[in-house]
A and B are shown apart, each in its own frame.
Chain A
Amino acid sequence: MHLVTYIGLVHRAEQTLADSFRVVGQGHAKEPDVLFTCQALAQMSDEHVRRLIPIIDRYGEQGHGDDVEEPERLHASGLAEVRSGPVGLLRDLQDLHVLGTLVQTTWTVIIQAAQGLRDHDLLKVARDAGGETARQLSWLNTRMKAAAPQALIVAR
């Protein structure tokens, strides 16, 4: 069942997103709203990871191995370090947005499967988490729109 593959995917992707939020927040700590909001958004993803644990216990999680039929290039890599300056912040927020979109579409796919399986627990976790992923993406979008004019036109 490939659902197991996707549970593994979302597990890894949420963890990567949480870590990347923390990297970007710390790296741009001179912007206090970025620091503190990224910390809060990282905690959202932490919570999603935590809530996945009983799901993984039930379905199992396929990692890498001989018997795994996992599509190639499944996992996205996170942000290990930040860029500098106003334009750097903009690009880092864009990277977070790309990661967040992967998480969101993964939850969408899982929601579909959970409905097919009539798995109410999984459906609840996936819907709650998917809703919060939308909040993460909304903030990234809002913050990028606010930062863009100054960064692109007048920043040194």
Chain B
Amino acid sequence: MSDRIADIWGARTPHGRGTVWPARVDLHLADGLGEWEVDRWVQSACLLCSNGCGCDIAVKDGRMVGVRGRATDVVNHGRMGPKGLYGSTPWARSADRLTRPLVRDNGRLVETDWDTAMGRVVEVSRRLLAEKGPLSHGFYTSGQLFLEEYYALAMIGKAGVGTPHMDGNTRLCTATAAAAFKESFGADGQPGSYTDIEYCDAIFLYGHNMAETQTVLWMRILDRTRSADPPVIVCVDPRRTPVAQEAERTGGVHLAPRVGTNLALMNGLTRELFVNGWIDEAWVQAHTLGVDDLRTSVERYHPDEVGRICGIDPDDLRRAARIFGESERVLSTVLQGFYQSHQATAAAVAVHNLHLLRGLIGQVGSGILQMNGQPTAQNNRECGADGDLTGFRNWDNEQHVRELADLWNVDPLTIPHWAPPTNAMQIFGYAEEGSIGLLWISATNPAVSMPESARIRRILGGDQCFVVVQDLFLTETAQLADVVLPAAGWGEKSGTFTNVNRTVHLSEKAVDPPGEAKSDLDILLLYAAAMDFRDLDGAPLIGWSTPEEAFDAWRETTRGRPVDYTGLSYAKLRGPTGIPWPVNDGAPEGTDRLYADAVFPTATDYCETYGHDLLTGAAVTEQEHRAMRPDGRAFLKAAAYTPAHEEPGDDYPLLYTTGRTVYQFHTRTKTGRSRSLNRAAPDAWVELSVPDAERLGITEGDVVRVESPRGAIEVRARVGHVMAGAVFAPFHYGSWDPTGANCDGRQANELTMTVWDPVSKQPYFKTAACRVVKVRDGDGPAPAPTTAASASASPGVPATGGGAATVSRVVDTPVYPNDPAQTVPAGGA
């Protein structure tokens, strides 16, 4: 029995380089139930981070009572993390689930039936379409729906209504990953594989506290770093995270650049490769474009200059570059420390550049993992319910649009493709000015998750825009809506989703949703039917109704595209493991890593984008792209470092950065309702460095006021391991609390600013300036966990623990399809 709050990653199963990761099955059942007491196990995958661990849902007396990792799944080899174990099912039985639709009458939300609620939506929708046309509609979705639901939403928005205003919470979490892939390789698609962990000599984690955000993937790394022949870790992070500690332990480097200076650091690393000749000239010549411009662009980033800009020791930069330059195989991973910070796309693209300069891509052990934040973000990008065009098509390519119009049997001009699709921040801007009059939000909570909260509340609560929200609970966002639609959650509906590693899982329905709650797919199809959307022949636009039919329809749109699902079906996905796309006649069991042939999807007629200027976001035209004749070569692109938009000054002397803790996910809708998880991180806090705290007269647990030009919060202070000059705040905590208390004044996004990356349009959550003042003495330590990056610098803070019992058992390691350790001779490839 193990407490996975206290022991986040569980026991180690170390193993040698080039051998298969041993299997270990983790499980947790509620109420002390034994495995033998479970009525049914229903196949699924975990939805509480982007890792996508295969699992089975335990059902007892018609209720979901726990989860068990699937030993046969290629993603997790049976393991589960604390969020998955403790957080997957308790929310479903929560007394405050939405069970009936709500409509706003006389300023108050009141219960009603589906006919009335959907009737109001349809009435407003029809009126706006008649008066102002499709540009009056906006859809803001999630990174947590299923593929089938995104696909239905994409068809409704792009071919039914015909609006370019579609985006999702994916814009906040993963847009930079997608944008960086498109800029470098021509199309979205994760190049690397988790199996690279078993073969690499060095792992670079850029702004990626994997130990807390993807705990199972971190277990996989720990099982290599704690073996006899470990890889070296290099960590780029302003906090001393468990990743940073592992970097020190393995003889690697922890680089802690000043918040907002990532690109200067990356340009410095790139320059070191050129200066030291760590370049595969022949490979670069054959497979890339732009090396001369890149060399010129990074020329002025001498280690001393980078040290000055980033506040790091120039020799640390040299050491990190040497590890990259001299290791035979390198794996790089990237997350929000880059995506949500200044010059996001340029910094993420720079990671690609390093790999391309050495030809370290497409081979076992040499990969790139541009991570996602949310579990199904990948599907939103694939289906195009966000700013993308369905099937990784290029909205700027008339032929691609025609293909899609033929598949959907609509006029190509119905599908908005005259300009870039509208990004989330711009959608909220249009809703603010009222030119979007209907905003439909599904399965996400922008009132807590978007920057500059006061502004978002004003937009959602105002009369200028009619707001529809579909969700499991009456979230901070739903409370501001005009119509609230009760949705079924994970385990209460069927569908597929794809993890950050391109691996597709089927998640089957285990139990019925409560009351009148409906699956998101059914809700969307109800709207489509009521609006009577038709195709060119007068038939209903959407001719299918079940998740499996939706999947089959989607599959047809992927034929001939990089995101090839043509070899997948529900029947195939009911096998022992999730399957990574592309899956087709040539790769019936899927594909472990992309670009093994070093041919990239950059051909002008095939690519998903013609690219952008990384500094300004200006679009490259088709003619310009064609003139470069990329023809399968990858792009090396660069930008100069520029200072962040808000630098600390006299009034606001500290840098403000937001982030995550291991025990909570997103805005806590699920994790906050798990007793084990919520007790471990029950309330908001901010982290200060020891020297800053001393200067400000603040000690552990004191209540402090943190203020930026946009807002303020009052929370308790953890004096911990953030870099001096910076303040860290977890973004999870809104006004809702499971205790029922109203907790205003603790939401991290009150302080963040409305500004976004020019290419990916991802908002910057990590580049504001703030000041901190002590309000009063504390009555104990801050409510921050001690087990990971938020650990206290002061002694005597009780260790975080107290999680319910879980089981963890090592089992015989199965044979995994595509695993190089089992399909090629050991040490080969």
Chain A residues with a Cβ under 8 A of chain B: 30-33, 36-37, 40-41, 86, 135-136, 138-139, 141-142, 145-146, 148-150, 153-156
Question: Cβ of B418 and Cβ of A86 under 8 Å apart?
Answer: no
List the B residue with the shortest CB-CB distance to A153: B135
* Minimum C-beta distance from B171 to chain A (A): 14
Q: Complex: how many Å from CA A136 to CA B617?
A: 10
Q: Kindly report which residue of chain A lies nearest to residue B645, judged by CB atoms.
A: A36
B435 near A155: Cβ-Cβ < 8 Å: yes
Which residues of chain B come closer than 8 Å to A145, judged between CB atoms?
Answer: 418-420
Contact of A139 among B617, B642, B754 (CB under 8 A): B617
Least Cβ–Cβ distance between B127 and chain A, in angstroms: 14
Top 4 closest A-B pairs, CB basis? A138-B618, A139-B618, A139-B616, A154-B435
> Which residues does chain B contribute within 8 Å of A138, judged by CB atoms?
613, 616, 618-620
Check if B618 sits within 8 Å of A135, measured CB to CB.
yes
Task: List, in ascending order, chain A residues with CB within 8 A of B434's CB.
Answer: 156
| B436 contact set on A, CB distance < 8 A | 154
Contacts of A142 on B, CB cut-off 8 Å?
420, 617-619
- Contacting residues, chain A, for B418 (C-beta < 8 A): 145, 149
The answer to whether B435 touches A31 (Cβ under 8 A) is no
State A136–B430 Cα separation when bound (angstroms): 25
**C-alpha gap A40/B434 in the complex (Å):** 29
Q: Which A residue sits closest to B432, measured CB to CB?
A: A30
With the chains together, A142 CA to B612 CA distance in Å? 10
B344 to chain A, nearest CB (A): 13
Q: Give chain B residues whose Cβ lies under 8 Å from the Cβ of A33.
A: 617, 755-756, 758
Known contacts A37-B758, A86-B433, A156-B433; is A146 also within 8 Å of B615 by CB?
Answer: no
Describe B's contact surface by its main secondary structure: loop
Q: Which residues of A contact B645 (CB under 8 A)?
A: 32, 36
- For residue A93, give the distance in angstroms from its CB to the closest CB of chain B: 12
CB-defined A-B contacts under 8 Å, sample of 22: A31-B429, A32-B645, A37-B758, A40-B615, A40-B642, A41-B616, A135-B615, A141-B618, A141-B619, A142-B617, A142-B619, A145-B419, A146-B422, A148-B419, A149-B164, A149-B419, A150-B422, A150-B435, A154-B133, A154-B435, A155-B433, A155-B435
B661 within 8 A of A: no
In the complex, are the beta carbons of A146 and B613 less than 8 A apart?
Answer: no
Residues of B within 8 A of A156 (CB): 433-435
- For chain B, residues 383 to 437, give those with C-beta under 8 angstroms from any C-beta of chain A: 418-420, 422, 425-426, 429-430, 433-436
B612 nearest in chain A by CB position:
A142
The answer to whether A139 and B133 touch across the interface, beta carbons within 8 angstroms, is: no
The reply to whether the CB of B12 lies closer than 8 angstroms to some CB of chain A is no
A146 touches B419 (CB 8 A): yes
Cβ of A40: which chain B residues have Cβ within 8 Å of it?
A: 615-616, 642
Alpha-carbon separation in the docked complex, A136 to B618 (Å) = 8
Shortest CB distance B768–A (Å): 13
**Smallest Cβ distance from A89 to chain B, in angstroms?**
11
- Is A146 touching B133 in the complex (CB atoms < 8 A)? no
Q: Is the CB of A153 within 8 A of B132?
A: yes
A153 touches B133 (CB 8 A): yes
Q: How far is the CA of A37 from the CA of B617 in the complex (A)?
A: 9
- The answer to whether B430 and A150 touch across the interface, beta carbons within 8 angstroms, is yes
CB neighbours (8 Å) of A37 from chain B are: 616-617, 758
Which residues of chain A are within 8 angstroms of B426 by Cβ–Cβ distance? 146
Interface residues of B (CB under 8 A from A): 132-133, 135-136, 164, 418-420, 422, 425-426, 429-430, 433-436, 613, 615-620, 642, 645, 753-756, 758
Decide: B756 and A32 in contact? CB cutoff 8 A: yes
How distant is the Cα of A109 from the Cα of B772 in the complex, in angstroms? 55
Bound Cα distance A148, B434 (Å): 16
Taking A33-B756, A141-B619 as known contacts, 12 extra A-B pairs with beta carbons closer than 8 A to each other, sorted by chain A number, are A32-B645, A32-B756, A40-B616, A41-B616, A138-B613, A139-B616, A142-B619, A146-B420, A148-B419, A154-B132, A154-B435, A156-B434
Tell me which residues across on chain A come within 8 A of B616, comparing CB atoms.
Answer: 37, 40-41, 135-136, 138-139
CA of A133 to CA of B618, assembled, Å: 12
Using known A-B contacts A149-B135, A150-B430, determine if residue A32 contacts B618 with beta carbons closer than 8 Å.
no
Q: Report the minimal beta-carbon distance from A38 to chain B, rounded to whole angstroms.
A: 10
* Bound CA–CA A31/B429 (angstroms): 8
Q: Decide if B617 touches A36 in the complex (CB within 8 Å).
A: no
Bound CA–CA A141/B657 (angstroms) = 33
Tell me the minimal C-beta distance from B424 to chain A in angstroms. 13
Which of chain A's residues has its CB closest to B131's CB?
A154
A36 B755 Cβ-Cβ under 8 A:
yes
When distances are taken between beta carbons in the complex, the residues of chain A under 8 Å from B756 are 32-33
Give the chain A neighbours of B755 by CB distance below 8 A.
32-33, 36
Chain A: CB-nearest residue to B615: A40
- Closest CB of chain B to A100's CB: distance in Å? 12
In angstroms, Cα B416 to Cα A148, docked, is 13
Residues of A within 8 A of B420 (CB): 142, 145-146
Alpha-carbon distance between A86 and B753 when the two chains are bound, in angstroms: 22
With a CB–CB cut-off of 8 A, which chain B residues contact A155? 433, 435
Q: Which residues of B contact A41 (CB under 8 A)?
A: 616
Q: How far does the alpha carbon of A139 sit from the alpha carbon of B617 in the complex, in Å?
A: 7
Nearest opposing residue in chain A for B132, CB measure: A154
Residues of chain B with a CB closer than 8 A to A31's CB: 429
Q: Give the complex CA separation of A136 and B613 in angstroms.
A: 10
Complex Cα spacing A84 to B436, Å: 19
- Tell me the complex Cα distance, A140–B755, Å: 18
- Chain A min CB distance to B686 (Å): 25
The answer to whether B754 touches A32 (Cβ under 8 A) is yes
In Å, the complex CA distance between A153 and B418 comes to 14
Choose among B164, B613, B618, B756 the residue with the greatest number of A CB atoms under 10 Å from its CB.
Answer: B618
Residues of A within 8 A of B642 (CB): 40
Specify the chain B residue showing the minimal Cβ separation from A155: B435
Cα of A3 to Cα of B135 in the assembled complex, Å: 50
Question: When chains A and B are docked, how far (Å) is the Cα of A141 from the Cα of B434?
Answer: 25
In the assembled complex, the CB of B418 is this many whole angstroms from the nearest CB of chain A, namely: 7
Complexed CA–CA distance, A81 and B371 (Å): 44
Inter-chain contacts of A139 with B (CB < 8 A): 613, 616-618
Tell me, in angstroms, the Cα distance from A139 to B420 when the chains sit together: 13
Report the bound CA distance from A137 to B613 in whole Å.
12
Would you call B435 and A135 a contact (CB within 8 A)? no
Alpha-carbon gap, A61 to B260, bound state (A): 41
A37 to B613, CA, bound (A): 12
Q: Which residues of chain B come closer than 8 Å to A153, judged between CB atoms?
A: 132-133, 135
Q: A28 to chain B: closest CB distance in Å?
A: 11
